[in-house]
Structure 1
Amino acid sequence: MAKILIAGAGGAPSEGVIYSLLKNPNNEVIGMGSEPTDLILSLAKKKYFVPYANEPEYKDSLLKILNLEKPDLVHFQNDLEIYHASLIRDEIISTGAKVFMPEHSVIDTCVHKHKSYLAFLDAGVKVPRNIEINNVKDLRLAFKELADDNGKIWLRASSIGGGGKGALPTSDFSLAKAWIDHYAGWGDFVAAEMLTARTVTWLSIWNQGKLVVAQARARQGWTHGNRAISGVTGVTKVGATVSDEAVTEIAMNSVMAVSGKPHGIFGVDMAYDKNGVPNPTEINISRFFTTVRFFTEAGINFPEIFKSIALNQQYATPENLVNPLDTSLLWVRGMDVAPRLVTAETIRTEILFL
């Protein structure tokens, strides 16, 4: 029996992990989170409320739960909590709980997008040019040097946060300035050359520098993307398994750019440029993406492998460590409906097209 404490319980990113872990009846999952109305929805056996990770009371609340429940492993599923928990990892480990994370410097690089951009650039990985926006002069420079044929640049916040935080594609200088003003984002925002809407993610688990398993997944649209000014919500509508040597090579190079000895979870998000080359936009560090249940249902249980490595348990890995899943699989999601694992043939068979 293994007892695992999962943070962010009730939220979609964590519930995919909890669902996957509960596929093994020998796992007991305890949940904690900062939103009671999320927690109440969790599959976790017990559910504890904790303050947000950047609040002063968070540390004492977390350690109290750890000392009370004595879990074998604790895992975090959002950048803010990963960052702050990493800072107190020695105190977490002192309670007897294990963590499976890279060193804090790697986490710091990955949760701050401009730092990871600089790491990619230094390693020779192809990335769209970025400019830090510290003042209006920088913003004017960005429009002058980064704009595409339509005059557009891509703005986003560099600080900790997912879901396309602060993202805005625009050709309007006044709108861009007002947008940064609204977010109080001077010194935090970066501007970048525009990439295409075509994206792919490469999820991987590493153990002391050795790749354990990796699988690529293309994204076919964002849920409610038409309701976000950027078109990006961070919530995949349809995921599709893919296998592409170029994606694998670029993802591997991106991981090595931020860590000489990768350890834990590295999820490389990439967007294709106009020449069809995947460019890394960020690495989701030490956490699984929201649709990790996709891979579990398809036959590769990443959270179970992760847990087994962390607790020195036996685990099975596929014969092919990279892209072991069939490339015909689709994971279809919607709001308040159960997701489905299907193929294009399933859609053609079940739906009537007149």
Structure 2
Amino acid sequence: ERVKPDLFHVQISAEMIMVSSLRDRLPCKTFLPAHQTILTCEDKFASFKAWENAGIKVPGTMIINTEEDLKIAFERFGPKLWLRFTSGSAGRGALPTSDYDEARLWIDFRKGWGKFTAAECLEEQTITWQSIWKDGELIVAQGRKRLYWEFANRVPSGVTGITGTGVTVSDPVVDEIALKCIKAIDPRPNGIFGVDLTYDRNGIPNPTEINIGRFFTTHQFFTCAGLNMPHIFVMAGLDRPLPIIAKKINPLSPGLAWVRGMDILPVLTTETAIEDSRKDLQERITKLSSHRQDSD
């Protein structure tokens, strides 16, 4: 009431759920998916069931209510399981393990019985598909792969929710699966849908969650590369004319890279430039090593 915003947007899940539940009572506009869509996407097991029912390839998953459930999960999906909370972000509670006792103790420690899922373990390669929709129509979407998680060695799962380097991609297979995932949960999408996928051993991207109603943390990457999604989102939310978007799906060139780290500004470069720098560094190391051997 004091600030009188034209559009109200939040980036934290708990806040978004509250804002969504109060949207009809707010004195300003919101641009959110349907409330039930938000609740489904915030529950990783509920979204898994929606995709499974739609015939989308997903890793076998079950809720772990008891120790017997955990034993069954190892029998069905083992030898290695991926454990995680059904809600939360940044890899909350995630643990890959092949050891039943370790899994049981982990769930005990996290007080997670009835709140954890156990799933078939996928490969390390991940990809994200961020999109903006308006009343069921796709406005724009862009794919981005993740080369690594920043600070991955600080957590048991290696997943921190902090992308170290992201790279733009354009993959029709990913596009098709991401679209199916969104429509399986909401046939009339509205707002932001960020589909996270992880590749299985056969090279098929499997959806693992949808980051609903909010941008991922590297959205500045796309803006600096020429696709200002926050601006597009605001204009769509306020029912104002949208900027001209020549290509709805993957308008950015593939191979653009966004490198991030602690206490440094992000760098926009290309995957090719990174590889060239890596080769140059290796050549320098080889020359230095050779020089030292000659000196000895």
Specify the TM-score bucket, using the shorter chain as the normaliser.
over 0.9
Aligned-pair distance for 1:315?
2.0
Q: CA RMSD in A?
A: 1.1
Which residue is 1:154 aligned to? 82
| 91, 100, 118: which one aligns with 2:25 | 91
| 194, 198, 210: which one aligns with 2:125 | 198
TM-score (norm 1): 0.78
- Once the two structures are superposed, residues 154-197 of structure 1 have per-residue CA deviations (whole angstroms, 9 ceiling, x without a partner) of 000002x1001110000111111111111111111000001100
Q: Which has the larger radius of gyration?
A: 2
Q: Distance in 2 between matches of 1:236 and 1:179?
A: 25
Contact 1:212 1:317 in 2 (8 A): no
Aligned-pair distance for 1:78?
1.8
Which residue is 2:227 aligned to? 300
Which residue is 1:73 aligned to? 7
Q: Tell me if 1:231 matches 2:139.
A: no
Aligned-pair distance for 1:348?
5.3
Aligned-pair distance for 1:349?
5.9
Q: Distance in 2 between matches of 1:167 and 1:218?
A: 20
Contact 2:142 2:251 in 1 (8 A): yes
AA aligned to 2:244 is: T
Q: Tell me if 1:139 matches 2:139.
A: no
Q: Distance in 2 between matches of 1:261 and 1:348?
A: 41
Aligned-pair distance for 1:119?
0.6
Higher relative contact order (CA 8 A, sep 6+): 2
Which residue is 1:167 aligned to? 94
AA aligned to 2:49 is: L
Q: Distance in 1 between matches of 2:114 and 2:228?
A: 40
Query: Unaligned 5+ residue runs, structure 2?
Result: 285-296
Percent identity of the aligned residues? 49
Which residue is 2:51 aligned to? 120
Aligned-pair distance for 1:326?
0.5
Query: Unaligned 5+ residue runs, structure 1?
Result: 1-66
Contact 2:167 2:271 in 1 (8 A): no
AA aligned to 2:15 is: E
Aligned-pair distance for 1:124?
0.9
Aligned-pair distance for 1:350?
5.8
Which residue is 1:312 aligned to? 239
Aligned-pair distance for 1:347?
3.2
The 5 A counterparts of 1:248-263 are 248-263=175-190
Secondary structure of 2:74 counterpart: helix
AA aligned to 1:70 is: K
Contact 2:83 2:94 in 1 (8 A): yes
Which residue is 2:38 aligned to? 107
Aligned-pair distance for 1:275?
0.3
Aligned-pair distance for 1:89?
1.3
Higher mean displacement: 312-321 or 238-247 = 312-321
Question: Relative to 1, partners in 2 of residues 1:270 and 1:349: Cα closer, same or farther, differing over 3 Å?
Answer: closer
Contact 1:155 1:169 in 2 (8 A): yes
